[in-house]
């Protein structure tokens, strides 16, 4: 293996099966082409033919493919010399549509005079001077395309030179479309907004600022530091911070208290942050989340205060009791049970208010109430749109209400078409009832986006969920803070689905209230909640042994990041390898999808919604066999939500983000139920908290084994939930 | 035919010479200061060759007697033509100036259009950037306005 760095002109590109690419290119001053293999981790964007790239990596010799460069770093580069202009213009797909064949390009260059002159004209946007050679309209477009290409290359070069991930370039150029480098040089601290993508963003941006001679007290640096603090808190879910919290974190990165205090003042002056007084406390917020929360508050307040008479088909409060009572009597006759008093009140509330909340834990009849509300509304000729955050949850609401349902994202996308005048299945002007199930998962930003599509329109909103379950993955908290405010709320608390005296229910109720019941050790019982001790060293062996004993149990983990020993990735790889049966079992046929090699017999989970295939995030299944369709590999899968088996190509599997499901994250399990579960509590982290344990436990119908460290479990249960510790600015009076 | 016209030409010439004598004028002069054969022939109503052939002797004799007169009518015509040329030249000059002004105006307008197009492009770009940044802020909560 030889380390090697080269600048190559891209000759051909094949998208890699696992997200990266294989490409060939001709190194400068060389005759032979070089084949490069780059994984998705090192490839911020796909190379295009005609472009110049700097590639760095190890030269290896493969038995089948010969000499290859395994790329470790690579990025787009400027034309190394004007002499490559002809090739660049005629080959790069960027200039497709101009019909610049080699002959035409050569003619253009020779008419202008030389490659350098043409580059000068293109750089200077002097399309008029090209007007003698090509049509002025085309010349104008050519200059624009050239400028875009130059801007992109300059931006990537700047980012690479200053140690940023080139991955941010695409988003950056979308937000800053021209003179990007000039604007970045004027204020590199703008790049702090890309903290999620680029690692150690403050250090990288500050070093860049220092290299550009920004003094330590420069106002742009100080304002950037405060924004960085707010973004760090945002990543943890907080949308607000006290003065002490802001100053403390800012002083840590700016090194002095004085500078932190100065920074806070400047950030306020610059309107990068704002102040909100909440419950007698002064809170600071970045303008983004403050705007989102404020907008959502206004929208909800308008909705709560809105009159119901807008809808001709509305059920009035006077008639609601009678209608619900008669409906309840009807289901008694048909199904042999009737709605309880609480459930009837919940249905009446949902039918007679513009905005209402129903909360309650599993088995309290939320689904029954939901179905009743939907059926009664439809019977009164009211349009109902049912939706949920995840694909799996929307499938469940669809099953339980008999109404078609969508994900919230899909609904918003369809609704936005209305504003553009395009054809869509959504009717926003019919004063519909919007029903959101599993509302605890919906973050403040998505909530706001959903309500924004109904601006200036009438609608009613019913949200249903369990506030003890996981809070949203994104920042902020809306639904949890809607409960018990001016928004009419009913809490369902009587359990019907699960025997009230079952150990699972008792443990779940205890955890919900923060009481840590002593869990018995598992001795092979078939039902209940038990503990199985394990530490990071024995975890894998323990999980493997438990899966051997209870093959049908679903492994759940709080962690996804592969840095964690009990992450879903680590456990999947372990279980796929160790649970195989027979010596040659590891040779089971399969194909690679991203980081996993899926083999026949493996359990799988869909992680991306795909309406075309009818498969949604959270849907689980199993790979049954592998077949070839016209030479292309296809896997045959059975999915829980489908009656028939589904044949999926490798590309389909990528599109739906198919992953192994020997172990899944508790977040992904939300909305699903399993007979038996094995939940890890081996590694302490911010994620291992009460609502995580509660959500994991309530996924089990019969047996739940908690595997790990008792103290981690106890600390998680007795500490407040994440939702309770989040500091947010959202508040309904 | 020529012979038939000869007496008429002669009569006409005699009458013309008699008129000149009576008026005390000489034969008209051309630009070069010689007698203007064409003018004389025109006045007499025949072709100038008549003066070289049939009436040549007579004409040369009369020329000696009454001589030529300074650039009288010729001078007027040339003056007239010169004036006309002057006017035309002035008109042309004015038109050239006007054309120059229009060309300048045109190029100014073209520059203005280019500047306005650039402005429109800049505004469109700014609007697109602001829309993107606003959307980004609504999704991520982060301020991405690159000013």
- Cβ-Cβ contacts under 8 Å between A and B: the total is 64
**Nearest beta carbon to residue B133 from set A175, A234, A289:** A175
**Nearest beta carbon to residue B146 from set A128, A183, A287:** A183
For residue B96, the model assigns a pLDDT of 95
The residue that leads in pLDDT, A245 or A42, is A245
Contact residues on chain A for B133, CB-CB shorter than 8 A: 175
Contact residues on chain B for A448, CB-CB shorter than 8 A: 138
Q: Binning pLDDT at 50, 70 and 90, where does residue A586 land?
A: low
Contact residues on chain B for A449, CB-CB shorter than 8 A: 138
Mark yes or no for CB contact A288/B141 under 8 Å.
Answer: yes
Least Cα separation, residue A156 to chain B (angstroms): 17
Predicted ipTM > 0.95: no
Mark yes or no for CB contact B128/A239 under 8 Å.
Answer: no
CA gap A703, A411 in Å, rounded: 36
- Element housing A632 (H / E): strand A632-639
For residue A462, the model assigns a pLDDT of 96
For residue A339, the model assigns a pLDDT of 86
A535–B contact, CB cutoff 8 A: no
The residue that leads in pLDDT, A658 or A314, is A658
CB hemisphere CA count around A567 (13 angstroms): 9
CA gap A299, A434 in Å, rounded: 14
Q: Binning pLDDT at 50, 70 and 90, where does residue A250 land?
A: very high
CA gap A396, A412 in Å, rounded: 20
Q: Are strands A281-286 and A241-242 parallel, antiparallel or unpaired?
A: antiparallel
Q: How far is CA A366 from CA A315, A359, A403, A422, A459, in A?
A: 21, 8, 16, 36, 22
Mark yes or no for CB contact B140/A178 under 8 Å.
Answer: no
What is the DSSP secondary-structure string of A353-385? -SEEEEEE-TTSSHHHHHHHHHHHHHHTT--EE
Closest CA to A516 of A527, A534, A529: A529
pLDDT at position A482 over 90: yes
A379–B contact, CB cutoff 8 A: no
Contact residues on chain A for B132, CB-CB shorter than 8 A: 174-175
Mark yes or no for CB contact B141/A448 under 8 Å.
Answer: no
Contact residues on chain B for A170, CB-CB shorter than 8 A: none
The residue that leads in pLDDT, A44 or A451, is A451
pLDDT digits (tens, 9 = 90+) for A626-651: 888 777 788 999 988 777 899 998 88
Least Cα separation, residue A658 to chain B (angstroms): 25
Mark yes or no for CB contact B146/A184 under 8 Å.
Answer: yes
Mean pLDDT for all residues in chain A: 88
CA gap A546, A568 in Å, rounded: 16
Q: Binning pLDDT at 50, 70 and 90, where does residue A308 land?
A: low
Put simply, whether the predicted model's pTM sits higher than 0.95 gets the answer no
**Nearest beta carbon to residue B144 from set A175, A196, A449:** A175
pLDDT digits (tens, 9 = 90+) for A163-218: 888 778 888 988 998 899 999 999 999 999 987 666 689 999 999 999 999 999 99
For residue A693, the model assigns a pLDDT of 93
pLDDT at position A500 over 80: no
In terms of CA atoms, which chain A residue is nearest residue B144?
Answer: A193
A288–B contact, CB cutoff 8 A: yes
Contact residues on chain B for A178, CB-CB shorter than 8 A: 125
For residue A584, the model assigns a pLDDT of 53
pLDDT at position A296 over 90: yes
Mark yes or no for CB contact B129/A177 under 8 Å.
Answer: yes
CA gap A705, A698 in Å, rounded: 12
């Amino acid at each position: 293996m030889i380390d090697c760095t080269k600048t190559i002109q891209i000759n051909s590109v094949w998208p890699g099966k696992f997200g990266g690419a294989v490409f060939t290119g001709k190194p400068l001053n060389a005759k032979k082409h070089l084949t490069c293999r780059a994984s998705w981790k090192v490839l911020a964007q796909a190379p295009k033919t005609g472009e110049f790239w700097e590639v760095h990596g190890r030269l290896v010799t493969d038995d089948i493919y010969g000499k290859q460069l395994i790329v470790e770093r690579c990025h787009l580069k400027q034309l190394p010399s004007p002499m490559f202009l002809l090739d660049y213009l005629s080959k790069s797909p960027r200039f497709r549509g101009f019909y610049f064949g080699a002959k035409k390009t050569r003619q253009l260059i020779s008419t202008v005079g030389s490659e350098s002159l043409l580059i000068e004209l293109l750089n200077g946007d002097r399309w008029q001077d090209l007007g003698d050679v090509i049509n002025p309209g085309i010349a104008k477009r050519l200059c624009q395309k050239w400028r875009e290409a130059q801007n992109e290359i300059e931006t990537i070069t700047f980012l690479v030179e200053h140690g940023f991930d080139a991955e941010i370039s695409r988003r950056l150029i979308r937000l800053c479309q021209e003179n990007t480098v000039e604007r970045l040089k004027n204020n590199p601290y703008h790049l702090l907004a890309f903290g999620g993508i680029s690692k150690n963003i403050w250090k990288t941006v500050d070093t860049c600022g220092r290299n550009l001679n920004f003094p330590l007290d420069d106002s742009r640096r100080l304002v950037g530091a405060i924004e960085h603090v707010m973004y760090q808190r945002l990543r943890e879910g907080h949308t607000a911070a006290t003065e002490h919290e802001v100053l403390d974190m800012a002083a840590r990165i700016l090194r002095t208290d004085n500078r932190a205090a100065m920074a806070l003042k400047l950030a306020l002056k610059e309107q990068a942050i704002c102040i909100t007084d909440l419950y007698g406390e002064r809170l600071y917020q970045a303008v983004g989340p403050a705007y989102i929360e404020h907008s959502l508050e206004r929208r909800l307040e308008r909705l709560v205060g809105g009159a119901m008479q807008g809808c001709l088909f509305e059920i009035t409060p006077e008639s609601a009791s009678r209608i619900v009572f008669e409906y309840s009597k009807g289901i008694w006759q048909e199904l042999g049970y009737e709605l309880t008093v609480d459930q009837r009140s919940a249905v009446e509330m949902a039918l007679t208010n513009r905005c209402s909340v129903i909360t309650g834990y599993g088995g309290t009849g939320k689904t029954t109430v939901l179905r009743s509300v939907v059926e009664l509304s439809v019977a009164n000729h009211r349009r109902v749109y049912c939706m949920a955050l995840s694909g799996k949850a929307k499938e469940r609401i669809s099953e339980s209400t008999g109404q078609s349902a969508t994900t919230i994202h899909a609904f918003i996308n369809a609704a936005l078409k209305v504003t553009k005048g395009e054809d869509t299945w959504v009717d926003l002007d019919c004063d519909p009832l919007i029903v959101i199930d599993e509302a605890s998962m919906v973050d403040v930003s998505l909530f706001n986006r959903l309500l924004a599509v109904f601006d200036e329109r009438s609608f009613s909103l019913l949200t249903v969920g369990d506030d003890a379950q996981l809070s949203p993955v994104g920042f902020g908290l809306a639904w949890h803070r809607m409960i018990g405010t001016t928004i009419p709320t009913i809490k369902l608390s009587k359990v019907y689905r699960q025997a009230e005296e079952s150990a699972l229910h008792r443990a779940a109720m205890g955890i919900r209230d923060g009481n840590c019941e002593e869990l018995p050790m598992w001795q092979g019982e078939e039902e209940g909640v038990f503990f199985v001790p394990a530490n990071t060293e024995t975890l894998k062996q323990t999980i493997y042994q438990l899966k051997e004993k209870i093959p049908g149990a679903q492994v759940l983990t709080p962690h996804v990041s592969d840095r964690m020993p009990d992450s879903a990735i680590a456990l999947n790889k372990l279980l796929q390898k160790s649970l195989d049966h027979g010596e040659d079992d590891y040779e089971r046929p399969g194909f690679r999808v991203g980081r996993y090699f899926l083999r026949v017999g493996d359990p799988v989970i869909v992680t991306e919604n795909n309406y075309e295939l009818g498969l949604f995030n959270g849907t689980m299944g199993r790979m049954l066999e592998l077949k070839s369709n016209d030479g292309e590999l296809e896997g045959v899968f059975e999915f829980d939500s489908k009656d028939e088996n589904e044949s999926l190509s490798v590309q389909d599997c990528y599109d739906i983000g198919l992953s192994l499901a020997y172990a899944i994250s508790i977040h992904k399990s939300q909305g699903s139920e399993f007979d038996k579960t094995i939940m890890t509590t081996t590694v302490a982290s911010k994620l291992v908290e009460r609502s995580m344990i509660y959500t994991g436990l309530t996924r089990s119908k019969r047996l739940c084994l908690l595997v790990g460290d008792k103290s981690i479990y106890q600390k998680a249960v007795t500490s407040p939930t994440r939702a309770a510790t989040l500091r947010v600015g959202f508040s309904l009076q | 035919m020529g012979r038939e016209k000869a007496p008429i030409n002669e009569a006409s010439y005699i009458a013309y010479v008699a008129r000149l004598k009576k008026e005390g004028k000489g034969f008209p002069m051309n630009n070069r200061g010689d007698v203007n054969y064409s003018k004389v022939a025109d006045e007499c109503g025949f072709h100038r060759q008549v003066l070289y052939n049939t009436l040549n002797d007579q004409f040369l004799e009369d020329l000696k007697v009454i001589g030529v007169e300074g650039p009288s009518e010729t001078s007027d015509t040339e003056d007239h033509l010169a004036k006309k040329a002057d006017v035309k030249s002035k008109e042309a000059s004015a038109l050239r100036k006007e054309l120059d002004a229009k060309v300048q105006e045109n190029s100014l307008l073209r520059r203005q259009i280019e500047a306005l197009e650039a402005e429109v492009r800049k505004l469109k770009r700014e609007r697109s950037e602001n829309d993107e940044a606003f959307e980004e802020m609504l999704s991520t909560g982060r301020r991405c306005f690159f000013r």
